A and B are shown apart, each in its own frame.
Chain A
Amino acid sequence: MSEPLIYDLSAPGRPGVPLPAPDVPLTALPKGLVRKELPLPELSELDVVRHFVRLSHLNHSIDTGFYPLGSCTMKYNPKVNEDAARLPGFAFSHPLQDPETAQGNLALMYSVQEWLKEIGGFEGMSLQPAAGAHGELTGILIIRAYHRSRGDLRRTKILIPNSAHGTNPASTAMSGMEVVELPSDDRGNVDLQALRAVCDDTVAGLMLTNPNTLGLFEEHVQEVVDQIHACGGLVYGDGANMNALLGVVRPGDLGIDVMHYNLHKTFSTPHGGGGPGSGPVGVSQALVDFLPGPIVEVIEVGDEDEAPLFGLVMPKNTIGRVKSFHGHFGMLVRAYAYIRMQGKQGMRAIADHAVLNANYLRAKLRDTYHVPYDRICMHEFVAEGRWADAPDIRALDVAKRLMDFGFHPPTNYFPLIVHEALMIEPTETESLQVLDAFTEAMVKIAGEAHTDPQLLHDAPHHTPVGRLDEVKAAKDLVLCCRPAELGEPAKKS
């Protein structure tokens, strides 16, 4: 039975949360501007609690089970992070209060800026972008501004490998630049020949995801970067897969000029069912002045007795602000807690165990599932959810059947260059026991694919709802419910 909609639980006249009576004399309400109807539901607090707690039970989450969703780095989200972000001095400070009264916040932001610079090998860092794609747009606008500042107006092309996340071309298009897609070679790397053929003085830059979306470290990364630099372009690094590189290699040392982090992947801030994320952008020396601001800087150097004074500064040739205020500060608090608890040695340990876990699963599954680019991978790998001798089975069937075993399916149908892709990223926070249980389920499903394909087509069998009709959703387009008082009856459960 499905959970009723919040409007279905409403009863006219039922009071919600009590509020204090006005303690000031009342003023006449503005004539002609007061609304007549306020079509919100009317519920008791207990109704609301039960409703949302029941809804929560319908979700799979990291806290309830393994979540090997490729490219998403679904690692454990430490509880201490949540407590830290809710400390009153953080949660109830106002973004526009005098910076002298927010020195704790600025000190925290400054530390996060400095640590992210060090981890990635960058000279400048803006914490403002709200998510990975937002960081990409920021980075491409920085590349554009850099070329224009040199009077180099012809550079309008951004090269993007065909294995890239969809956000790369979408961000580029938003910046007003032109997308040029690059093919991959038969080892899953950027095709160097194709790259050479398009490199000229109209190239503004290249967006490189490394490790790429096959989970492979780009074998010719140095040649790719050198090639772009030689033609006068800049290299954008998509930091979505940074979990594999912590303490292993700094993208800045590889010559990456600008990169976004996903704090909600690499640095353990929660995904929240689709955000909020945080997408800080790091840059090389040549690009520091173009960063979006404000940036936290030391205004007065401290000494033994006095803490330094921090201030908010707009970079000289900034592309401008990319959102209100100073970024997703609450996410920065969480990332601060995480980086402090991992420390210097912890960074490498994160990458090591993320990479070890992925390779272990690859080794355990490669005899059952075809792995098209089968070599030592980084934090994730891509298998195929299809068999020549089980022609009706698709990756989607495997994914849906996995739910019956209590696992979140891997990312499917991405990257686009693999047929029936299942992209598996276990992360470092999963134990050997969990990986073995997952392997066992995957092997069992492969067997079922051959002996009882209908079982897979009908899956999932043990979830709160069965397979959903996506065609109907797009055709009927029911995107909200109206309460009865607006004329249309509320949808009945």
Chain B
Amino acid sequence: MAYIPHTEDDRRTMLKAVGVRSLDDLYQAVPAAVRFPDLDLPEAVSELEVMEELQALSEANLDARHTACFLGAGAYNHFVPSVVDHILLRGEFYTAYTPYQPEISQGTLQAIFEYQSLICNLTGMDVSNASHYDGATALAEAVILAFNHHRGKRTKVILSPGVHPHYRGTVRTYMQGMGLTLAGDEALGNDSAGLAGLLDADTMMVAVQYPDFFGRIEDFTALGKAAHAVGALLCVCVNPLALGLLKPPVEFDADVVVGDGQPLGIPMSFGGPSLGHFTVRKEFVRKMAGRLVGETVDSHGERGFVLTLSTREQHIKREKATSNICTNVALMALASAVYLSVMGKQGLRQVAELCYHKAHYAAEQIRGLKGYSVWNRGDFFHEFVVRCPRPVAEINRFLLEECDSLGGYDLGGDYPELKDHMLIAVTEMNSKEQIDDLVAGLKEVAHV
């Protein structure tokens, strides 16, 4: 059997030491009627065979290495320097557990501390946790933080319609037993002023996205002021890669900044694993979910790192914990720490600018096409909405067949008002040639 080292002799020796005659005898406590089921599973195959099988499955997909990709909508095709994966493949990192024993886990602990530092410095916030599952669950946890901050006395959450539909869906799932109400995202037209109009003394938090789901960027300072005026928190959900270029949300006086870290060195991998950022201003540190790594000294006075403030957590506080989270996505946090380190101050800005310029070039070209218009008004980062002359599914089929491109995201499903609207993402991975092909394809399909 694969990965089981026991010899026949070993088994005999061990059974004897245990004092039983056979392996079957180890299961006397299991009800006999249901013991040892005959599982309907395929027969075992060798490593050679399983890799052939998986190779075939993987090749039954289209992927962004072989097909131009203009899909974004929360998962982005970015360049990941080779160094990132080489570090992730160090067995000392990926085969370690949560660093409960700090004396033999300083590698993971310092890496997480550095991740926390990089994310704090990128967002401008005071405290980052060691990660959450993804942007959606981080936002849901932000709602719980706001609820606890107001000691359960406020029940209303305002969500911008520009927050990713999956994030809003996840928040609704998490909230279903909490007796809360959600407002704001029922109308696509609810802009910052509209959301501010919904604020009242029962509002615990208002959450916006930056850039929003449609790629739009705006200054949320006024909304933050309005929220704070009624005692509500401002939560900004970010694409951290955009912060290579854009003002950090701390400048809007955000209380909580969450986001999805996939763009920072993590492959799309059909949507997961990704990385959830969770950062707060320091007054909320004791209310936040998840692990935190803090600096300290060891018995010789040398600097070292430990998990800290664990009295917030489930293994100590049980039902009174700030969250149930235990396993997070530490390895993905390491990936983004390596990514940010190796890209650095200059590299991250360059990537963000490449995305910005290429997306704006694409939008300009599409704007000039007959039958198409760009829906976004005002500034955007690397995504924008295009109103199309035909159903998006038809256009995407054409783009795939004729231009070897994965076209944009069909917005009609999440936003009925945006039927025949496509969300296009452009990153540093899209060459001018690919963009020109996309534009030519869009032009052609309008007349087919």
Contacts and interface: CB of A to CB of B under 8 A. Distances in A.
B269 A274 contact: no
B-side interface size class: 35 or more
A302 interface: no
A286 to B, nearest CB: 19
Contacts of A115: 41
A420 interface: no
A473 B99 CA distance: 15
B269 A91 contact: yes
Interface string B325-352: 1111111101001101111111111110
Given A7-B117, A320-B173, A483-B121, A45 B319 contact: no
Nearest to A67: B97
A247 interface: yes
B308 to A, nearest CB: 4
A482 interface: yes
Interface string A26-47: 1101101111001111110100
A383 interface: no
Contact of A342 (B2, B5, B167, B321): B2
B306 interface: yes
Contacts of B347: 15-17, 19
A37 to B, nearest CB: 9
Contacts of A345: 1, 43-44
Nearest to B28: A376
B136 interface: yes
B217 to A, nearest CB: 6
Interface in B36-69: 36-37, 39-47, 50-51, 53-66, 69
A248 B38 CA distance: 9
Given A38-B349, A82-B89, A329-B271, A96 B73 contact: yes
Nearest to A173: B319
A137 B217 contact: no
B14 A360 contact: yes
A78 interface: yes
Interface residues of A, number: 206
Contact of A25 (B54, B128, B308, B361): B361
Contact of B69 (A26, A94, A169): A94
Contacts of B270: 90, 93-95, 102, 105, 325-326, 329-330
B170 A330 contact: no
B34 A249 contact: yes
Contact of B107 (A6, A56, A75, A144): A56
Contacts of A272: 93-94, 96, 329-332, 334
A313 interface: no
Interface in A158-181: 165-167, 169-177, 179
Contact of B60 (A14, A107, A327, A431): A107
A254 interface: yes
A67 B330 CA distance: 18
Nearest to B296: A473
A348 B36 contact: yes
A403 interface: yes
Interface stretch (B74-82, B228-236, B367-375): B74-82
B419 interface: no
Contacts of B117: 5-7, 480-482
B31 A78 contact: no
Contacts of B389: none
A455 interface: no
15 contacts: A22-B358, A35-B246, A53-B90, A87-B54, A93-B64, A170-B314, A273-B96, A274-B329, A331-B273, A344-B42, A356-B18, A399-B101, A431-B5, A476-B295, A478-B295
In the A-B complex, the 8 residue pairs with the smallest Cβ-Cβ separation, listed nearest first, are A176-B177, A343-B44, A325-B271, A95-B271, A89-B58, A63-B91, A272-B331, A104-B60
Given A89-B59, A356-B6, 16 more contacts: A15-B344, A23-B432, A25-B361, A26-B357, A27-B364, A49-B86, A85-B269, A87-B55, A92-B269, A130-B134, A219-B29, A248-B30, A271-B96, A272-B332, A357-B14, A428-B3
